Amino acid sequence: MDSTCITRSYLETLSTQELLSLADEYGIDIPEDLNRRFVIGELLEAAEEMNDHQPETMQEAGELPDQTELPATYNETTITAVLRNPVWCYVYWDIREADRESLSHSTSFASLKLKISFFPEADAVKATESFEVSVSLTDKDQYVFIPNSENYFRIDLVAEYKNQPAKLLASSRVLTIPKGCAELEMGTAAMEAEVPPVLKLSGFPELIRSHYTNYRQSFS
């Protein structure tokens, strides 16, 4: 096989099965559950090694090397959460084209949301608390404020429907909430502060808690 034809842009056009077949031709042992982006990386590395043994490379023949940027999507429904600092989490996701088409053409589809759930243990099944952030079908990332409520959290990408149960599209891994950082207490300081008896009678503490529960992204 002519290895000089193997470029990232060419490999991105192949299906996962075609990529595995190509890997077999190169003698590369690929696990069945390996992500396609890693399969592409293995194929590019194998092609480069074969080119190193050729008397003339593409660059020596006057051809420009492949400068293709990474694709905007890998056509997979996934979500990833990364802590930017102890308070803010950066979330990015992708929706498979078939799933996106199904959502956009569904008359019962209502909204797309990020559901942030908190757990006392990393392997806990039931969340002790959760809240949601609305996003649109065209969104691909979002910063989320993480309060100091529990030890662990997970973010789910959820599609909500009219008169139908919500559908879980993808889940991030479980992340640990850092402790011992002063900034973590900013969101709950107002709720824990002592208030005069008159304000207590007016219902001010309950108002603060309600605002935190429903609009906590503003407690930053």
> Is 214 a domain residue?
no
- Are both 82 and 180 inside the same structural domain? yes
Please give the pLDDT value at position 146. Answer: 86
- CB 199, CB 208: distance < 8 Å: no
3-state SS string for 155-170: EEEEEEECCEEEEEEE
List, for residues 18-38, the tens digit of each pLDDT value. 877 877 777 777 776 677 787
Domain residues for 137? 78-184
Please give the pLDDT value at position 220. Answer: 43
Using the predicted structure, report yes or no on whether residue 65 has a pLDDT greater than 60: no
- Are both 88 and 41 inside the same structural domain? no
Please give the average per-residue pLDDT across 138-146, as a whole number: 92
Q: How many domains does the structure of the chain reveal? A: 2
> Is 195 a domain residue?
no
pLDDT, the chain, mean: 78
Alpha-carbon dihedral sign for residues 208, 210, 213, 216: negative
> Is 219 a domain residue?
no
In whole angstroms, give the CA distance from residue 187 to residue 36: 41
Using the predicted structure, report yes or no on whether residue 214 has a pLDDT greater than 90: no
Please give the pLDDT value at position 192. Answer: 58
In whole angstroms, give the CA distance from residue 93 to residue 25: 33
Q: What is the pTM of this model?
A: 0.55
Structure-block tokens of residue 126: 């039931």
Give the CATH number for residue 166.
2.60.40.10
